[in-house]
Amino acid sequence: MNDDLLGRHRAVLPDWLALYYDRPLEITHGEGRHVWDAQGNRYLDFFGGILTTMTAHALPEVTKAVTEQAGRIIHSSTLYLNRPMVDLAERIAQLSGIPDARVFFTTSGTEANDTALLLATTYRRSNTVLAMRNSYHGRSFSSVGITGNRGWSPTSLSPLQTLYVHGGVRGRGPFAELDDYDYVAACVDDLKDLLGHTRPPAALIAEPIQGVGGFTSPPDGLYAAFREVLHERGVLWISDEVQTGWGRTGEHFWGWQAHARSGPPDMLTFAKGIGNGMSIGGVVARAEIMNCLDANSISTFGGTQITMAAGLANLNYLLEHDLQGNARRVGGLLIERLRAAAAHVPAVREVRGRGLMIGIELTKPGTDEADPAAASAVLEAARAGGLLIGKGGGHDTSALRVAPPLSLNVAEAEEGAAILEDALRSIQ
């Protein structure tokens, strides 16, 4: 049956629409932290639809909210007042930490980043954008243009002039051997030097932890230090929280809070987990920035009633059950368990991350050379053992990505770690 579906997929969908596994998987249903395929095999899900199933599969509170809203009205567009959209916007504005915040809803993280770029370039009257090396911000024309990861940049054409900054990858690059203090200082000096050679940019856009880039991150405080330099020149800071938001990192509700010395960003973008599978993205910005557009704009599907109902129910569940605290506790146990397992596998260069956002970088033993074949082999072995994980990285996709739903319990963390340990050992 899967072979038939795979053939149909290949006949009507693009060649570049990637599928995991030598024999691609059709997921038919899920519950909690588990999913099942068309053959009835059960898997522990440590990737959550690319960090999107944030709380749990088939969460009853979200299912109930969606069903009840669907029975009333599903959609009306932003041309009419929308109570669920206002309700969720109020909650997100309050949680964002941005003063006098306004919220605009989209259908995806790509569209959210597009909107943030539109706002920044309009507000600043500049089409120059600073972005981080190894970054990923989406698949639209403008977001591809600022993505600093070659594997996800199909074109060099762009409506923006993009300048790439050091700092997003702590363990590689010209400053990797420095201690954290000197690393931050070197990156700040590099930023100052770059700004001295160009007209003032509109904004810096940065993921606090790079998602597609393999869950890499700078030392805490780097973006606060960057912001002090940028603020002096009027340059905005956009925090791309599509993967780091909603408590996934455990220690903080937003990734930017690890860099909070200079206060919140001017804008943050969000998506993925807030909808628990429903299509929600958005931008939070100070009112003066959000209101800078002087032409009409709407969103046909952004903020539609059914997705807002899902987002409200999901956010309420996350806060009421302290899933951020659970990510900190269970994620801390999981990362230590994976580090202990990886200590016996020469191909593992680094286990990194925080909360339930963990990366395992693989290289050819004894070298710093990326080993994407090993990453693919571990992905296959983990699936055979009943575990689904992801891949990423800026060096030929050689990092494994581990990001379970935030309701993961200790027993499931131990089970998944044991499967992943076996999968890592299988490549030796």
- Sheet hosting strand 387-388, strand order edge to edge: 27-31, 34-37, 42-45, 387-388
The C-alpha angle 297, 301, 304, rounded to 5 degrees, equals 110
Tokens at residue 116, please? 């943030």
**Domain boundary at 300, 320, 340, which?**
320
Question: Mean of the pLDDT values across residues 323-336?
Answer: 98
User: How far is Cα 249 from Cα 245, in angstroms, rounded to an integer?
Assistant: 8
Shared domain check, 316 and 335: no
Beta-sheet pairing, 390-392 with 27-31: unpaired
Domain with residue 311: its CATH number is 3.40.640.10
What does the pLDDT look like over 64-80, one tens digit per residue?
Answer: 999 999 999 999 999 99
Shared domain check, 271 and 149: yes
pLDDT of 372: 94
Shared domain check, 138 and 29: no
Among 80-84, 177-181, 242-246, 260-264, the minimum mean pLDDT is found in: 260-264
Decide which of 133 and 260 is more confident. 133
**Domain boundary at 266, 289, 320, which?**
320
Shared domain check, 329 and 307: no
In sequence order, which residues have a C-beta less than 8 Å from that of residue 170 and are 6 or more positions away?
A: 176, 183, 216, 217, 218, 219
Percent helix, percent strand, percent coil in the chain, to nearest 5: 40, 20, 40
Residue type, 161: Q
Asked if the model's pLDDT at residue 349 lies above 90, the reply is yes
Asked if the model's pLDDT at residue 350 lies above 90, the reply is yes
Task: Give the domain extent around 403.
Answer: 2-58+323-425
Shared domain check, 154 and 258: yes
State the virtual CA torsion across 376, 379, 383, 387 in degrees, nearest 10: -170
Shared domain check, 115 and 52: no
Chain mean position to CA 115: 17
User: How far is Cα 49 from Cα 26, in angstroms, rounded to an integer?
Assistant: 12
- What are the residue ranges of helices labelled H in 106-166? 109-124, 141-146
Domain with residue 385: its CATH number is 3.90.1150.10
Decide which of 282 and 393 is more confident. 282
| Residue 201 pLDDT grade (very low, low, confident, very high; cuts 50, 70, 90) | very high
Shared domain check, 156 and 49: no
User: How far is Cα 68 from Cα 409, in angstroms, rounded to an integer?
Assistant: 29
Asked if the model's pLDDT at residue 163 lies above 90, the reply is yes
- Identify the CA nearest to 131 among candidates 226, 60, 19: 226
Tokens at residue 197, please? 């050679």
Asked if the model's pLDDT at residue 392 lies above 90, the reply is yes
Give the number of other Cβ atoms within 10 Å of residue 247's Cβ: 24
pLDDT of 233: 96
pLDDT of 157: 86
Shared domain check, 335 and 396: yes
Tokens at residue 44, please? 């522990």
- Identify the CA nearest to 424 among candidates 331, 362, 350: 362
- pTM: predicted TM-score of the whole model, two decimal places: 0.96
Tokens at residue 66, please? 């969606």
Shared domain check, 385 and 253: no
Shared domain check, 34 and 160: no
Asked if the model's pLDDT at residue 151 lies above 90, the reply is no
Asked if the model's pLDDT at residue 395 lies above 90, the reply is no
Shared domain check, 332 and 288: no
User: How far is Cα 408 from Cα 332, in angstroms, rounded to an integer?
Assistant: 12
The C-alpha angle 252, 388, 134, rounded to 5 degrees, equals 55
Mean of per-residue pLDDT scores for the chain: 96
Count the domains in the chain.
2
| Residue 304 pLDDT grade (very low, low, confident, very high; cuts 50, 70, 90) | very high
**Domain boundary at 295, 320, 345, which?**
320
The position carrying tokens 């956002």 is 357
Shared domain check, 364 and 275: no
| Residue 288 pLDDT grade (very low, low, confident, very high; cuts 50, 70, 90) | very high
Bridge partners, 57 (sequence order): 32
pLDDT of 262: 77
pLDDT of 230: 96
